[in-house]
Structure 1
């Protein structure tokens, strides 16, 4: 049973995603902040547990990124719908994720790689910055602080890291696509 704990945490995050989105759309940003924060914490914990328990599974390799993307992209869409984030930013974030999925699909069907691309340091930083932006946007009303200046800076940081991450994944996809099958570059 303990072996399946990382997958159960990913599943919980997948369940929490629509609740968080609903809370944002209902104007309850502070409650959404707590839900999102708890879900983000489970993401860190399930990764640690999967390594510590040596419990990496095929199901987890799909469930974890699906839960992550559902939570983060759904939250970005909801915060854009409520005018908390600019439309152009969510378009950039979603386009990067769609491009990433398409790249993996192309590589898979071309027989040029695994089912995923390894996240680079800039992609990991991008995820951290995306989460930080969401947390700040949702927490500021509850803290009764004007965080508009910091939020504006974070919007541009997220735009930059998202763009750099997309370029990195595109380069990796092109490199793998043009590397002959069976050759490890």
Structure 2
């Protein structure tokens, strides 16, 4: 049995718990603490892998927990920021919908390509590889942009103004309107890359490699998997477009009107 009680795994587990803690702090308007905890999660995400490789402390448990912690951080904070109104609903729908669509497709790929007998025990036995996923280039950039978006959104109340305190820029008598406008453009950029990333898994044939020798069966399984992603994520894109037009635009217009009243 491998030794799972090491520093990299400890850092990864703390990052896993940092996700709900950061969400709690942000929801209760402790913006600086939330930003600091997110920064801790981002730093440990880099450090734990480096330590594991440097001192040969890689474990199977770590390889499972590490992406789980990353995804938990992204999902929990996306929901939190949407609930708080810090990011628009259409963007949250795209981010969460993409992950959900890929998860559903992954379940199908694993089951369809698993050699017989297809039992629950064998399904979770990852020593029996059945399919390999190769992230697209746009997906890698999209993940990076999503993390930048989450971090900058958490930082925005700190450098502008929270509900109960003056922000850094306002204390220096600097106008923050341009910063909020830039954030809206950045949100549109992340929405575009998220949509592109999700749909790329629906039309690119070389993203998933199904192991086995039956080429005809592998082709059918690949087509079905891509169809699952296309159907589920396509629905999310349509829902996001509806939200952007009917909900988020109304909210934004109301906020701008309220801001104009305060200025006058």
TM-score range, shorter chain: 0.7 to 0.9
Decide whether the 8 Å contact of 2:130 with 2:211 is kept in 1: no
Q: Could you list the runs of 5+ residues in structure 1 that have no partner in the other structure? A: none
* Count of aligned positions: 184
- In 2 relative to 1, CA 53–171 (structure 1 residues): closer, same or farther, beyond 3 Å? farther
CA apart distance, 1:175:
6.3
Output aligned runs, 1:1-185, within 5 Å.
4-111=6-113, 114=130, 117-144=133-160, 145=169, 146=176, 147-171=179-203, 176=208, 181-182=212-213
- Tell me which structure has the larger Cα radius of gyration: 2
In structure 2, what is the Cα distance between the partners aligned to 1:90 and 1:164?
Answer: 15
Which residues of structure 2 form unaligned runs of 5+?
Answer: 115-128, 161-168, 170-175, 220-264
Question: Is the Cα–Cα contact under 8 Å of residues 133 and 207 in structure 2 kept in the other structure?
Answer: no
What is the DSSP-based 3-state SS (H/G/I as helix, E as strand, rest coil) of the residue aligned with 2:58? coil
| Cα-to-partner distance string for 1:110-146 (whole Å, 9 max, x where unaligned) | 1166566233322221111111111111212222342
Equivalent position SS for 1:110 = helix
Q: Check 1:50–1:142 CA distance in 2 against 1; reply closer, same or farther (3 A cut).
A: same
How many Å apart are 1:172 and its aligned residue?
5.3
**Cα distance change on mapping 1:161 and 1:13 into 2, 3 Å:** same
